[in-house]
Amino acid sequence: MTDANTVNHLFSLAITAENAAEAMYLVLAQRFSSYVEVAQFWREMAHAETLHARVLERMRTRLDSAVLNSPVDAKVLRQAQEALRHEVVAAAGAVTDLEDAYQLAHEIENSEINTVFEFLVTSFPENPATGEFLREQLQIHARKLITAFPVPYGDITARRAALPVDRF
């Protein structure tokens, strides 16, 4: 077994994916900075991704080396690798309007990134209550696109009309 098939490697991939999602949201915040509410929303989403990465880092540091060096489920490992194949930061730089950004965010929030995060917090929680709490927080975070997106941009027409600052 190589290090690439271990729990430790899975944590590394998941942390990298969370950091990439954070960077993507920060790019969106910058690109839509002329829409104050939208930029703030993207910054809040980025902050949540930062917290996800920190949770995973903390969980990993609390695991003993036997667990970290143990084999990981091949399906979950493939999901983590797939999450990293999607160049989310480049995709954020290429969006042409707020609707594209909104759809990109939906893709990320419903992607393998969250599946792997959920697997890790369920499989290696500090305690069962913490694992359940983190799963709930992840679901709340993913639903924010639907429940907390700035109201003036709640429909596709308004999002199509909102152009990034570098498109004016």
Domains in the chain, ordered, with CATH?
3-167 (1.20.1260.10)
> Between the CA atoms of 121, 27, 144 and 17, what dihedral angle is there, to the nearest 10 degrees?
-20
Mean pLDDT for 13-17 is: 94
The whole-chain average pLDDT of the chain stands at 91
Q: Is the dihedral of CA 93, 99, 103, 109 positive or negative?
A: positive
Residues 6+ away with beta carbon under 8 Å from 118: 135, 138
- Rounded distance between C-alpha atoms, residue 107 and residue 64, angstroms: 34
Give pTM, 2 decimals: 0.91
The band of 168, judged by pLDDT with boundaries at 50, 70 and 90, is very low
Q: Using one digit for the tens of pLDDT, what is the confidence trace for 101-158?
A: 999 999 999 888 888 988 998 898 777 777 788 888 888 888 999 999 999 999 999 9
